[in-house]
Structure 1
Amino acid sequence: MYLNNVIYPFLFIIATSFTFTSGAEIPEEFLKSNHSNNWAVLVDTSRFWFNYRHVANVLSIYRSVKRLGIPDSQIILMISDDMACNPRNPRPATIFNNAHEQINVYGDDVEVDYRGYEVSVENFVRLLTGRVPPDTPRSKRLLTDEGSNILIYLTGHGGDGFLKFQDSEEITSQELADALEQMWQKRRYNEIFFIIDTCQASSMYEKFYSPNILATASSLVGEDSLSHHVDSAIGVYIIDRYTYYVLEFLENVHPNSKRSMSEFLAVCPKSACLSTVGVRRDLFKRNPDKVPITDFFGSVRPVIITTDPINILDTPKRKKKPENKTKVPEKREYLPQFPMHLVQNARTG
């Protein structure tokens, strides 16, 4: 309402990040989060042709978080990037995550931030802790703050207490835990959701001691994480079992979804994964039953509400725009990553 050139009350919206959640109301049963922005760090620690499934894993998660609203400017993607143009790839410039070849997850809009030998333990730790060289471009920096919720997804080959990087070096569970503690001390995150898909994966979160971290792993100590299926046209396994069922779940999650983090943590029972999915929640303050999945897999728009009057000295009149009679093309949507019969049979949120 306008009264003596005063607008009261006035709502300021600071568009510091893209959003697909405007207008969506969070149900009362969900606990409110203090975060103001979302980031994702997605890492494939493998290379070489026989590890095709690992790059398919990480690119599939990358595509899902983009669909749910996290922009490329807030996604750090680390892959060896040697699969799409590998001479043994019968379909150059493509990477598929299922034998039906429903969609090329490499696509034409993948922004790789660290590729090849840049995917190293040193660069990964520097990225998390912010200790990057001063000439590092913005696209290779994790510019988070104390209001950031961060999704960290790792896939590759590991063992009890370590994760290999490109078969040449490894990061230990203690080194990873110390890097996360540095992040907490430097106020680089609000909450972290840590996912790892590798053999004996739960050993990588056992040393964590920093607050506000929810972690899940594809297998317990002493267990292997298994692949899902082979594409006979390519001749290698093309996706891991745990990530396959995670993606099947995410394909039915939308920006206004009412799905909770507890549902995500239960996506792959042992009958499906053939390994025991590990979960660690003692460092996480909120109840996962009451945390919407979009707190980590979506994006937010910070809103500041003020009840103070705002004086508008001059309100220019807007000129009426001429009608555009040209047909506006329909907005493109993300195609499902799985065959449609799988998506339709799954429970939607």
Structure 2
Amino acid sequence: MTLYLQCKNPPISAQRHDVVLLELHQSGLQIKQNSSLKVDIQITGQFCHIVLMLADDMACNPRNPKPATVFSHKNMELNVYGDDVEVDYRSYEVTVENFLRVLTGRIPPSTPRSKRLLSDDRSNILIYMTGHGGNGFLKFQDSEEITNVELADAFEQMWQKRRYNELLFIIDTCQGASMYERFYSPNIMALASSQVGEDSLSHQPDLGIGVHLMDRYTFYVLEFLEEIHPASQTNMNDLFQVCPKSLCVSTPGHRTDLFQRDPQNVLITDFFGSVRKVEITTETISLDRDLADFESKLPRDEVATEPLKYAEQLPVAQIIHQKPKQKDWHPPGGFILGLWALIIMVFFKTYGIKHMKHVF
């Protein structure tokens, strides 16, 4: 599932907040990923507009004993599905291609605004992913997968096209740390529920349906975020300490070398919510519609003097004109060796050793 949250009005810091949440496995037994994602909807959706891509809608699954509900705890007190969940991408619309197109903005003009990531160079983006993965890949509905290289290149395209200011990447899957190893774009902070070679485990089993309700990492992140309010001063270093190995069993990891700010100075609300500042004035403001005259009044350093240049996704020209590689010599395969052995065996059986002097 993919979810984008976008604040309509800029907060105090004059930045936009956008969130991408993905639950990617389509199976009746994957309630825990579905619940994990909707928990983040509950936390981030308090302050932002939500655009949702859902691979498997467990709330409407006929095997759900409580229709139209998804619970994050076995006591069934918190229904994380809610009454206001709107699904914009569902089922087989959730693909690697659609996900990358929405991130990079390469979508048809007819696509409605509710299915677009309308971010810019003032946007702080949170990307949360959960599902089944391995070393360097994450599966989409058991039919395709996205690699860490593809994800890193998509983030680079977003940076080149000025589609984000800062980006927080969180992934809850097996060997999750492998997904951020290839990142190379600036202003990216990444967190993972497990290191390479480790599994990300489940939490809160429900004996009624025979499956777990949630992932361990997301469960403890939820407990942490429930205490966050719009004016909270909690920083990202506190989020790094949320789920130690004694609780998660796996070893959560994080990467901050690409991020320009000190995580200690980055508030949780910079990505999970914001407080919008509204100023009331009685003065009449005249808006100048003459764009050329407006740009002439700006300082020279704020006016773009050179056209923007975007990096190509693939060096197509170099790939087409490059010389083919010379094939290295390899010893004959098993089939060739077996064929020669059969020929030699038939030869000796036909002529025998006594006829060898006539052959040579």
Please give the TM-score of this superposition, normalised by the length of structure 2.
Answer: 0.74
> 1 CA distance for matches of 2:187 and 2:245?
27
Does residue 66 of the first structure (1) align with residue 57 of the second (2)? no
Query: Counterpart of 1:319?
Result: none
TM-aligned CA distance change 1:235 to 1:78, over 3 Å: same
Query: Counterpart of 1:173?
Result: 148
Deviations 1:223-282 (A, max 9, x none): 000001211122211100000000000000000111111101110000000011110000
> 1 CA distance for matches of 2:93 and 2:106?
15
Cα displacement (A) at 1:300: 4.8
Does residue 54 of the first structure (1) align with residue 33 of the second (2)? yes
Deviations 1:274-303 (A, max 9, x none): 011110000001011111110000135378
Does residue 182 of the first structure (1) align with residue 182 of the second (2)? no
Unaligned runs of 5+ in 2: 1-6, 287-360
Greater percentage in helix: 2
Check whether the contact 2:25–2:142 (CA below 8 A) recurs between aligned residues. Answer: yes
Q: Structure 2 matches for 1:220-235, cutoff 5 A?
A: 220-235=195-210
Does residue 203 of the first structure (1) align with residue 194 of the second (2)? no
* Equivalent residue for 1:251, pick from 209, 220, 226: 226
Cα displacement (A) at 1:18: 5.1
Structure 1 window deviating more from structure 2 (292-301 vs 133-142): it is: 292-301
Q: Structure 2 matches for 1:217-296, cutoff 5 A?
A: 217-296=192-271
Deviations 1:167-221 (A, max 9, x none): 0000000000000000000000000000000000010000000000000000000
Alignment size in residue pairs? 280
* One-letter amino acid of the structure 2 residue matched with residue 38 of structure 1: H
Does residue 17 of the first structure (1) align with residue 8 of the second (2)? yes
Query: Counterpart of 1:122?
Result: 97
Check whether the contact 2:72–2:80 (CA below 8 A) recurs between aligned residues. Answer: yes
Identity, % of aligned pairs? 61
> 1 CA distance for matches of 2:213 and 2:272?
23
> 2 CA distance for matches of 1:246 and 1:195?
11
SS at match of 1:113: strand
Query: Which structure is higher in RCO with an 8 Å CA cutoff and minimum separation 6?
Result: 1
Check whether the contact 2:125–2:166 (CA below 8 A) recurs between aligned residues. Answer: yes
Query: Counterpart of 2:76?
Result: 101
TM-aligned CA distance change 1:300 to 1:133, over 3 Å: farther
TM-aligned CA distance change 1:312 to 1:169, over 3 Å: closer
> 2 CA distance for matches of 1:122 and 1:36?
28
Check whether the contact 2:27–2:56 (CA below 8 A) recurs between aligned residues. Answer: no
Query: Counterpart of 1:325?
Result: none
* One-letter amino acid of the structure 2 residue matched with residue 71 of structure 1: H
Cα displacement (A) at 1:71: 2.4
> 1 CA distance for matches of 2:64 and 2:99?
28
- Structure number with larger C-alpha Rg: 2
Query: Counterpart of 2:106?
Result: 131
Query: Counterpart of 1:40?
Result: 19
> 2 CA distance for matches of 1:239 and 1:289?
29
SS at match of 2:42: helix
Deviations 1:104-143 (A, max 9, x none): 1112101222110111100000010000111111111000
SS at match of 2:87: coil
Cα displacement (A) at 1:82: 2.8
Check whether the contact 2:230–2:275 (CA below 8 A) recurs between aligned residues. Answer: no
Unaligned runs of 5+ in 1: 1-15, 23-32, 314-349
> 2 CA distance for matches of 1:113 and 1:58?
15
Check whether the contact 1:152–1:194 (CA below 8 A) recurs between aligned residues. Answer: yes
Check whether the contact 2:231–2:275 (CA below 8 A) recurs between aligned residues. Answer: no
Check whether the contact 1:36–1:300 (CA below 8 A) recurs between aligned residues. Answer: no
* One-letter amino acid of the structure 1 residue matched with residue 73 of structure 2: N
Report the aligned-residue RMSD: 2.2
Deviations 1:132-155 (A, max 9, x none): 111111111000000000000000
